[in-house]
Structure 1
């Protein structure tokens, strides 16, 4: 099976290609110099030339709260253009199987109950990453519409919760919460700092999946494509407070100091927990605990960053 993996050099892509079963497949992981996902004819030409059997669309403009608030236009337009160019070109060139990646940012804000796939477009989005969310919703809907018009197509969307792991971005200007926490706590440990700042009160709850577990889900999807639902949450099904993430990461890293809260800073959604019932019924669930995932991620950070 020949698979085109967009974003093959990002967090998701590198973890997929590093999976123990990845060698079973032939991978195409082009750089942007080989195919420009922001240009439709570049994508179409690449698909006609290489004719992949499956496309996994893991490329995207990603970042944490700071980056999303700073550049909402870029997060909306680039993610929308990449997704629609890839799906439309896939349909035109005859690629019948696509795994598209969504995000739990697609769900309405401030829902206390776990977010099920049917909840998309049932409420207001979180303002701090609205542009990114709108792009992801539109591309997922486009995948569904293309399949409605042409039943031979199987374009499916996986919706992972927040991710962390090897190959992540650890620069706080661009990173998501866990790599930023690892960076901050490591620096504080090295410098002997007595206290580390946490944005907000730290009571917002977050669900973070180890990226190696998402890679497991992707390989499982390739092996069980027919039975995979068209829209599917991939997550833990349970969450922790921001304060708990700091406390568990401090234990892994060996930071012995205290924490203080800057209540003037935004926290984002108060809770964003995915309902993983469909994934469990399909036959998949995550295997890493938070502490296990943090230990592997910190080991990568020490060796590579």
Structure 2
């Protein structure tokens, strides 16, 4: 049973979701948390991962580790996103099963849904059409992980593997590198730079028309703890996890500009790719379990911007 004395491994604890999980677990007085930096444990090395599991009797795992990025990174290095994520998932799945971990949560991605998909996207629409090409390598690895969770549960007659698909996560400890960040953090940095440099205008990629749903990292972390506490309610399937509201990239840029205090004009480079035009999840199955998100989007944006200003160089 998942409780305050359980031995919990948070893989990827320094990242956006992993750091939020550490914060939430400590808030609820979970005391026995194991973390390893990339330098301490190379998750793509199976022998090192097995040594780690042999030495630590782990009860629960939150698998937040992986190679993630935005459109630029996914387009430039699809094989790297595919290879690294597949290795990490496979190694941890195998060892979690071999060493009798009670439960592990794997985080899928909304990019595993079809590029053209009925909205909001229900779990039943998964794999019903072609993927967005700009994220295909990363999406393929996540698809393998989602299928992996179901497959291990089926073959070994267990409920060990839990799979949730959060929509675009944002919050403190996000990656603000313009080459590898996601849209929300990239916009915060670009708009803040424009303000600091007193730019009269700022040109952003695409048309500004694509719509995205965002969910705060602490909401996802709280949902993850809820899942661990309610394994008996779950089916052997993936569950969507979103806020229920989407925004156009234009609306997002305007909201960030207001928070940042940028008064310049925003223009759009329509020669650059938009990606999937709309990604809104139907999270009704997850919400029916008895959980709901709490952080309002504007509040989340403000706290994310404050963290960026205080911590990011």
Structure 2, unaligned stretches of length 5 or more?
A: 1-5
Structure 1 residue 97: Cα displacement: 1.1
C-alpha deviations, 1:62-121, integer Å up to 9, x for none? 000001001000001111111011101111112131111111111111224111122221
Q: Which structure 2 residues correspond to residues 21-100 of structure 1 after superposition, within 5 A?
A: 21-100=27-106
Q: Hey, which bits of structure 1, 4+ residues long, moved more than 3 A?
A: none
Distance, in Å, in 2 between the alignment partners of 1:59 and 1:180 is 21
Q: Is the 8 A contact 1:11 1:211 kept in 2?
A: yes
The RMSD of aligned alpha carbons is 1.3
Identify the residue that residue 195 of structure 2 maps to in structure 1: 189
- Give the structure-1-normalised TM-score: 0.97
Query: Does 1:268 pair with 2:275?
Result: yes
- Give the structure-2-normalised TM-score: 0.94
Q: Which structure 2 residues correspond to residues 214-233 of structure 1 after superposition, within 5 A?
A: 214-229=220-235, 230-233=237-240
Distance, in Å, in 1 between the alignment partners of 2:205 and 2:137 is 22
Identify the residue that residue 253 of structure 1 maps to in structure 2: 260
Distance, in Å, in 2 between the alignment partners of 1:6 and 1:29 is 7
Distance, in Å, in 2 between the alignment partners of 1:116 and 1:54 is 28
Distance, in Å, in 1 between the alignment partners of 2:224 and 2:141 is 22
Choose which of 7, 16, 23 in structure 1 pairs with 2:21: 16
Structure 1, unaligned stretches of length 5 or more?
A: none
Distance, in Å, in 2 between the alignment partners of 1:152 and 1:293 is 37
Distance, in Å, in 1 between the alignment partners of 2:242 and 2:50 is 32
Distance, in Å, in 2 between the alignment partners of 1:283 and 1:25 is 25
Farther-moved stretch of structure 1 (57-66 vs 148-157): 148-157
Aligned residues: 305
Distance, in Å, in 2 between the alignment partners of 1:108 and 1:44 is 35
